[in-house]
Chain A
Amino acid sequence: MSVARRAFIQMSVGATVGILFTPTVWTLLDDVSIWTQNWPWIPTLKYGEVKGVPTVSKMCESGCAVKVRTVAGEAFGTEGNMDNPLSGGGICPLCANGVQVKNSPNRIAAPMLNGEEITWEKAEEVLVDKLAAAGSNVAVISGDQTGTVNELLSAVLTGKQSDKFYTMPCDMQVSDRAWTGLMGGSGQIGYDMENADVVLLAGADAFESWGPTVANMKAFANNEGGKFIFAGPMQTKTASVTSKWVPVPAEGMAAFTLGICYYVLQAGKSVPASDFDQFKAMVMAGYTPAKVEAATGVKADQMAEVAKQLLSASNPVVVPAGSVAANAAGIALNLLLGGGMKVLPEFAAAVDGAMTRSEMLKGDILQGVDAEMVIIYEANPTYALPEQVKAGFTVAIDSVNTETTAAADLVLPSLHSYERYDDLASPYGVASAIYTMGAPVSKPASGAKDARDLFLAPAGLDSESFAEVIEAKVEAIGADMDELVEGAAYVLEETPDMSGVTLAASALGKAAVPVKGTGAVGLAPYTVLSVGTANQATTPNAPATISNNQLVGDNMVVMMASVTAKKLGVSVGSKVKLSGGNGECEALVQVFEGVLPGVVAAPLGMGHTVGDEFSKGKGDNVYKILTVSSEAAAGASTWAGSTVNVAKI
């Protein structure tokens, strides 16, 4: 070994030992360990003032009054608005994920014509041309039940001499058909559950999917002494917290309610309606407990017990749901009892030529829509009503991709609720006329504009933006804009004229007779908000809360009682095909004794073919197997009474 080489090695050893006597190596190790925690794909937090900005969310059917949580002006979460009676601090599962949907890659980035991106200028040009070409053969389908946007869109129709305004099938619609259509009333029916001492939820899944679910839950929570009874074909989440569940088939709800009316009339209750005598005669003859029991399977003593509790209450209320007949029967029972049913006035309109809410609810979309041009606003009829809508040219307005936007000729991306001015006027079911408004919380997503602005001119308005229409609405109803922006609600204390209201005796006598399809078992479709609605698919985070009784893997789950399963030759985990209407669904079987024997309970809202990873390809679409039947006596169509055949596969 040469001297130089040996010296070099010795010096290297010295250098190595020497460096260990400095902080360099240790600091380097420390820095490297920190470096391993800082990969570029790890998201970083945004810092700034955390605020809760009040606004409204339109993702559920009734809409929610919310507070959007922001940091440095950027939305990151949603919570309830304690200051607003619609919320009381609560929020529904869909609106709780509003920010995630706002930021979803499923957002529509730009207007599209036949699948190709176009500019907003081109989109407006096409819209105007098509509107002109369609003449009066224009229809609107709105998925918004409570917004002033309906005034705008209905004014467009009025200007075109068209009355083809449709809402998606909803409880508000059947209630209106019963109240203003059959019974001659005006205004909107509401139910004061908070102050009632006995509440009969006659088919109304009030704490999950009926009406303002959040306000309903608050009313339930605040009503410490009240007794809640649920009647329906399955033990829903609502039924699980009520004092009693009375199993009643959906198609038999009207008859069941009239069966209770029998006892109430027998107790001497009356109402100053012109057809009271006719109503009483009809009920006492046609809906005796024995006849109702024979028609619906509900025991007479069960009806007697419910009637007894309602009669002994000082402020009872019956909350009906389902068919028009069921609603009319429920309203009639409320009029007899004189309890917590309310009649709400409609807020003044802001747009000349706009239809009233009742006029907007008259169109029966289940009977089909056929028009040269159909404008669909934040609704998903291609998913929920695949056979009902026929159009020469379809315009779909939505913030996210859906089956309807995928099938539309012209797609106009709408701003998310948190990016726009929007409002909620008396969601169906609330006990008083209540108005809530929301201002934008976030800047619009890149490329997004307010599609509603394109309809201002066609509606004959000279406003520059839809925000001005909202301002006009607030002024028209006499509310304070600043208070509304702060999240408060405006309540209108008026009662519509009740004179001339009837009990719809002649129509109800026939319409309340249960009519069932020809399938092997009854179908009880039910909505769970975390699964989604007809217009809104499930949202990010929500799938984690979907029960194994609704979805296992990518398979939908239907529930039935063990006696039904035995009859059908299936057991837990069996894969079955359900056939009904003009469609089929596949599902796994779950046995649940909380379902009426002879009935299969299936969750609505699954089986999307367009959407994000959370909804697309999950479960099957139960809307395909619903049967539309005519409530001839009530002049309406209904899904109640749907039946299916079940085959093991």
Chain B
Amino acid sequence: MEERRASKRCGGVLPFIIGFLATCVLGWAVLPGLFYEEIEQPFKFSHAIHVESEGMDCESCHYFRDDGSYAGFPTNEGCAECHAVDPEEAMEAIAEAGIDPSDYNAIIAAELEVIEDNLLSGEDENKAAEREYVVKYLIQSTEVPWLNYQYQPDNVYFSHKAHEGLDIAELAEMKNELSSVVDSAVFDEPGEQNCNLCHMKDIDKNDTPPAFERNIISGYSKMTMKMWKCERCHALKGQPNACYTCHK
């Protein structure tokens, strides 16, 4: 009888609180991480080497075409301007060596001159990454299936050209209003270009690309900007938020 009374007194609150706190902790700290799987980029591409060591700038690969469309990721055609391994010559050498062109490990192990002599990297780790690109993609005439951290679905039309003129310094005035949309740190050291507003901050200094975090339910990137963020910024900037603005 004593036990039952005790239970009636505090048993109605304590289990509730325990359950409440437990799921709060799980829901804030544990569960969100379980929704994502990490996927590595097709090979180790170092922005740092290309930008800092080779003196390239963003527009070398990520440029606007003559018609105003945005090139996005580089293609083999662009990469081959520097990584000058001739696919035809390479395939001939692979055939002469009796190697299956789809057996990448065998091609790498064979250390074919036509490939090795045209690698540009110095350090072994970088050379291995470059070799992987050349063997798996360049000589196979297969475009690199880059993983887009800012992936947007097909029903969203995003024009880089329309956002080209956004100035981080000007936007800094709306720093507080934009705090849920843009990482506030972006406003601390505004760069020459506004890429950091939406893209991974200081990606140009990155040596090993971070893993792509893919939502296991939706398939979207963790960094995919949701519609409400687009709308928030559009509203703050006095831009239209009609459906057809982005859904053409």
Taking beta carbons and an 8 Å cutoff, which residues of A are in contact with B? 3, 6-8, 10-19, 21-25, 27-28, 30-32, 34-35, 37-38, 44-45, 47-50, 72
Interface centre among A6, A24, A30 (most CB of B within 10 A): A24
Determine whether the beta carbon of A24 is less than 8 Å from that of B4.
no
Taking beta carbons and an 8 Å cutoff, which residues of B are in contact with A? 3-4, 7, 11-24, 26-28, 31-32, 35, 65, 67, 69, 71-72, 75, 143, 153-155, 215, 217-220, 226
Q: What are 25 sample pairs from A and B whose C-beta atoms fall under 8 A apart?
A: A3-B11, A6-B11, A10-B11, A10-B12, A12-B19, A14-B15, A15-B19, A15-B20, A15-B22, A17-B16, A18-B22, A18-B27, A19-B23, A21-B27, A22-B27, A23-B32, A25-B27, A27-B35, A30-B226, A31-B218, A32-B218, A38-B219, A44-B154, A49-B65, A49-B71
| Nearest opposing residue in chain B for A36, CB measure | B218
What residues of chain A lie closer than 8 Å to B22, measured between beta carbons?
15, 18
Interface of A (DSSP majority class): helix
Q: A18-B27, A19-B27, A35-B218 are in contact. Are A3 and B19 (CB under 8 A)?
A: no
Q: A19-B23, A24-B27, A24-B32 are in contact. Are A35 and B16 (CB under 8 A)?
A: no
What residues of chain B lie closer than 8 Å to A34, measured between beta carbons?
217-220
Distance in Å: Cβ of A427 to nearest Cβ of chain B: 31
Nearest 9 A/B pairs, CB to CB:
A22-B27, A14-B19, A14-B16, A15-B19, A18-B23, A11-B19, A18-B20, A11-B15, A34-B218
User: How many inter-chain contacts with C-beta < 8 Å in the A-B complex?
Assistant: 104
Bound-state Cα–Cα, A23 to B19, Å: 17
Bound-state Cα–Cα, A38 to B224, Å: 15
| Nearest opposing residue in chain A for B30, CB measure | A24
Given contacts A3-B7, A50-B69, 7 further A-B contacts (CB under 8 A): A10-B19, A13-B19, A19-B24, A22-B24, A27-B35, A31-B218, A48-B75
Q: Which of B12, B20, B155 contacts A17 (CB 8 A)?
A: B20
Bound-state Cα–Cα, A32 to B220, Å: 11
What residues of chain B lie closer than 8 Å to A12, measured between beta carbons?
19
What residues of chain A lie closer than 8 Å to B21, measured between beta carbons?
14, 18
What residues of chain A lie closer than 8 Å to B14, measured between beta carbons?
7
Determine whether the beta carbon of A21 is less than 8 Å from that of B24.
yes
Bound-state Cα–Cα, A14 to B226, Å: 31
Distance in Å: Cβ of B79 to nearest Cβ of chain A: 14
Bound-state Cα–Cα, A28 to B4, Å: 40
Distance in Å: Cβ of A643 to nearest Cβ of chain B: 54
Q: A11-B15, A22-B31 are in contact. Are A28 and B217 (CB under 8 A)?
A: yes
Distance in Å: Cβ of A367 to nearest Cβ of chain B: 52
| Nearest opposing residue in chain B for A10, CB measure | B15
What residues of chain A lie closer than 8 Å to B71, measured between beta carbons?
49
Distance in Å: Cβ of A8 to nearest Cβ of chain B: 7
What residues of chain A lie closer than 8 Å to B143, measured between beta carbons?
72
Q: A7-B11, A50-B67 are in contact. Are A23 and B28 (CB under 8 A)?
A: yes
Determine whether the beta carbon of A32 is less than 8 Å from that of B24.
no
Bound-state Cα–Cα, A16 to B19, Å: 8
Determine whether the beta carbon of A22 is less than 8 Å from that of B23.
yes
Distance in Å: Cβ of B217 to nearest Cβ of chain A: 4
| Nearest opposing residue in chain B for A37, CB measure | B153
Determine whether the beta carbon of A47 is less than 8 Å from that of B20.
no
Determine whether the beta carbon of B32 is less than 8 Å from that of A27.
yes
Q: A6-B11, A18-B23 are in contact. Are A11 and B154 (CB under 8 A)?
A: no
Determine whether the beta carbon of B31 is less than 8 Å from that of A45.
no
